[in-house]
Structure 1
Amino acid sequence: MQLVIFEDRGVEALSPITDLIPMQEVVVGGAKQFIRLERLLDMESRWIVRDHMELRVPESRKPDYGSPAIILNSRLLSTDLSLKLDYGEALICGSQVVAAKVRSLEWPPEFERAKPCEAKLLENLWDICPTSIVEHLRSDLMKLYGGSEIRVNVNVVGRHAVVIGEGVDILGPLTIDAREGPVIIEKDVLLEPYSYLKGPLYVGAGSQIVAGSRVAGSYLGTATRVGGEVTTSVISDYSNKYHLGFLGHSYVGRWVNIGAGSITSNLKNTYGEVKVRGASTGLSRIGAFIGDHAKLSIGTLTYAGTVIGTASHVHGLVREEVPPFTIYGRSLGWEPVEIELDSVIRTYRRMAPRRNLEPDPREEKLLELLFERTEDLRRRMGVRKGRLG
């Protein structure tokens, strides 16, 4: 029996988060999605992804067609779902397949019986952040990490687990607040003095928390650099938010740089509902959704619910959606201009060695494919070709 996690059409609505990675690798709650779903059956997963995402699938993750399988929708948020299914049986939420069990894996699969269920699927950007962070970060971390190892030179308050990995370097006094959830600090993290770390919180391996930071209720990926104030947010692998500023109720993709003094609004002056792309969310706190490889210059300010596209460079006040591969600075008197693909790739090649990594040709190919696929979108959104100014 194999566990197969599949992408469906609903993944496209989660752009820019899913522009360059499959849904299986998106951070949901307290872990990347494939890790959360593998825990349901205690099995390693294989992946079915969108055609252009095949580049991302390791050989060990490719499905074994023709063999028995339990299949799971990659957008499944619920982790309390019963998967006791007979062969040929599927769980359906509305018209969407949530899970199924088949004797012989084919794609698309065929089912003999459909059972309705009330599972929650990720439909919108705000389902990933802030909703999954608020509702699942604590419980995911509690399920994924059991024991507690506390350093004697760390001030810890609260009863939840505090897990500190090997090679963590603590440069001075700091406070870990585990009253509301676990605090997980992976190996080789650098913790500078006078920081306040509040659970539930996950800090990925090789990351750095800058002196005087306040980080609460968030997920920080591998090799991130984080300073200032961060709350109820995801900062994905290899991204920087090194300087003073505020990031709240926001999702930050991979390879992003957030300049000094940048602030994401996450609450309206009226305390009313925040809309995203004109759609009602039912939520009063939503920050920004920032795609992979985006860059925010110093002093960037974003209105609540702002979407910043993959590989875009933004300046000044941002109060509308920015399409991918765009240089944006309307508050500075600039009209949006398309950024050259070569410039994006050059920037990535400069940034990767700063994380002790070689640039990945697959990443560059996916950037190229996305640039081509989104050209019409940029034209429709008023982005012109040419140079800035």
Structure 2
Amino acid sequence: MLNLVFFDSDVRPHLLPLTYSRPVGDLRCGILTIREKWEHHLGVSGSFLTDDSLRELYPVEQGEHNLLINGAVLPTPALAEQVRQLVPGEAFQQNGLLVATCLNGDALEALIEGDEFDNIEAFELEGEPVRHLTRPADIFTFNGEEIRRDFALLIEGRTSATPSTSNTFIGDQSNLFLEEGVTMEACTLNLTTGPVYIGHDAVVLEGCLLRGPISVGEGAALKMGAKVYSNTTIGPKCKVGGEVNNVVFHSNSNKGHDGFLGNAVIGQWCNIGADTNASNLKNDYGEVRVWDYVSERFAKTGLQFHGLVMGDHSKLAINCMMNTGTVVGFSANVFGEGFPRTFIPSFSWGGAGGFRTYRLDKALATAERVMARRERQLSDEDRDLFARVFDASEKYRPE
């Protein structure tokens, strides 16, 4: 039986702060996470071979016929079919990027233990370039096309639930798919620009304006009058209001009130307060530079539009103003008037007036309360992860 494993390549540190708390393959781009995309294509569930700091939360499963896939690679039907044909001892690469390999049980065990194993015969993939994540900005850059791909994957052979006649639809309703349990009344959806997918038990309150491609995840809620522009993903159990444009919310995060986000990536268990705004365009319309964890300096992005990147468990209070290209780490708490700096390290507490260290015990207590509101418990493994990220990010915080 095929055993599917997603491995983190050397791109993982380039995807911080999002990968402090998840393997690369657990990132969401489009409707689904990368792991979920491959699982749909291959018809089998997978596990992760990831950084040591994450292995308690994401243990790897082993088998005798192991298909290892680069967790940063976004699949297509054609690519999935090629990868499925690999046999132990073979691999696919493209322009130096290892896309996938197949290992027997002994070879996978040796890989996990850091030991040597038999040589692998690598074949060069022909055809269109393999799309893969190299930085957080790729998540929102690729998101519109990934929504389209995931939409086609998820609706094949299925019929949408029937929407209420109180809604207004512009364009072909074949571009709309509602899972069972969706509540949506008196909203306007423009389907000419791309598909709109709304997951199980999602709630879209009155007056919302949606312009596809858009995904609203299972149990998510759009607040009254929300304006959701193209290429946006609202992850499972997120609550979103105000104005968002080309934003990816992972899951269990809230931006429930007025305020703007654009060209942004928001992790899990985040909260963005009322009337908080995050710029995605510089006043001089120039290229945006953002913090790079590998070079440990600000780096050019080649992008004119780049908004907020926010790690898991971080919070922005009401009326915060975030500059273009701000990167907020894991479990930071930002508040106060003025524009804080554009790199806010993990476990930072403060704002434009300065930051101090957010004590680990205080951060854990907040996370415990936040997760309990969604009937989730902060596990011992979660607590260990917080401690490891606290230590790993210490060098970025002021003395």
Same fold by TM (over 0.5)?
yes
Q: Which residue is equivalent to 1:377?
A: 396
Corresponding residue pairs, total: 371
Once residues 148 and 318 of structure 1 are traced to their aligned partners in structure 2, the CA distance between those partners, rounded to angstroms, is 45
Q: Which residue does 1:113 correspond to in 2?
A: 121
CA contact (8 A) 1:148 1:161 kept: no
TM-score (norm 2): 0.87
CA contact (8 A) 1:142 1:182 kept: no
Distance 2:196 2:322 in 1: 29
Alpha-carbon distance in structure 2 between the residues aligned to 1:357 and 1:46: 22
Alignment of 1:46-125 (within 5 A): 46-57=47-58, 62-65=60-63, 67-79=64-76, 80-81=78-79, 82-83=82-83, 84-104=85-105, 105-106=107-108, 107-108=110-111, 110-117=118-125, 118-125=129-136
1:151 aligns with 2:163: yes
- 1:143 CA displacement: 2.0
Number of the residue aligned with 1:178: 191
Counterpart position of 1:196: 209
Q: What's the secondary structure of 1:352's corresponding residue?
A: helix
**Aligned counterparts of 1:134 and 1:268: Cα–Cα separation in 2:** 23
Question: What is the CA-CA distance between 1:163 and the residue it aligns to?
Answer: 1.9
State the AA in 2 paired with 1:119: V
Q: How far apart, CA to CA, are the structure 1 residues paired with 2:182 and 2:237?
A: 13
Q: Distance in 2 between matches of 1:86 and 1:22?
A: 25
What is the CA RMSD across the aligned residues, in angstroms? 2.0
Asked whether the equivalents of residues 247 and 263 of structure 2 are also in contact (C-alpha less than 8 Å), the reply is: yes
What residue in structure 2 maps to residue 387 of structure 1? none
In the alignment, the residues of structure 1 paired with residue 43 and residue 119 of structure 2 have an alpha-carbon distance, to the nearest angstrom, of 24
**Does the 8 A contact of 1:149 with 1:162 survive in 2?**
no
Q: State which of 140, 143, 148 in structure 2 corresponds to 1:133.
A: 143
1:335 maps to: 354
- Give the corresponding residue for 1:242: 256
Three-state SS of the structure 2 residue aligned to 1:230 is strand
CA distance in 2, matches of 1:111, 1:283: 40
Q: Deviations over 1:258-299 (max 9, x none)?
A: 011111111123333222222222221111100111111111
Q: Report the CA distance between 1:55 and its aligned residue.
A: 1.9
Q: Which runs of 5+ in 2 are unaligned?
A: 112-116, 292-297
CA displacement at 1:90 relative to structure 2: 1.4
Identity value in percent: 30
For 1:152 and 1:360, locate their aligned partners in 2 and report how far apart those are by CA, in whole Å: 41
* Residue in structure 1 matched with residue 29 of structure 2 by the alignment: 28
Between the aligned partners of 1:142 and 1:318, the Cα distance in structure 2 is 41
Is 1:291 the counterpart of 2:302 in the alignment? no
- C-alpha distance in 2, partners of 1:254/1:112? 37
Residue of structure 2 equivalent to 1:18: 19
Whichever residue aligns with residue 75 of structure 1, its letter is A
Please tell me whether the aligned partners of residues 102 and 111 of structure 1 are also in contact (alpha carbons under 8 angstroms). no
Q: Structure 1 length as normaliser, TM-score? A: 0.89
C-alpha contact 2:290 2:342 (8 A) present in aligned 1: no
Aligned residues of 2:288 and 2:324 also touching (Cα < 8 A): yes
Q: CA deviation at 1:198?
A: 2.1
CA contact (8 A) 2:223 2:240 kept: yes
- In structure 2, the CA distance between the partners of 1:148 and 1:91, relative to structure 1 (3 Å rule), is same
Distance 2:330 2:257 in 1: 22
- Please list every run of at least 4 consecutive aligned residues from structure 1 whose deviation after the TM superposition is greater than 6 angstroms: none
Q: CA deviation at 1:110?
A: 4.6
Q: Is the Cα contact below 8 Å between 2:144 and 2:232 reproduced in 1?
A: no
Letter in 2 for 1:112: I
What is the alpha-carbon distance in structure 2 between the residues aligned to residue 89 and residue 190 of structure 1? Answer: 46
Q: Confirm or deny: 8 A CA contact 2:224 2:241 kept in the other structure.
A: yes
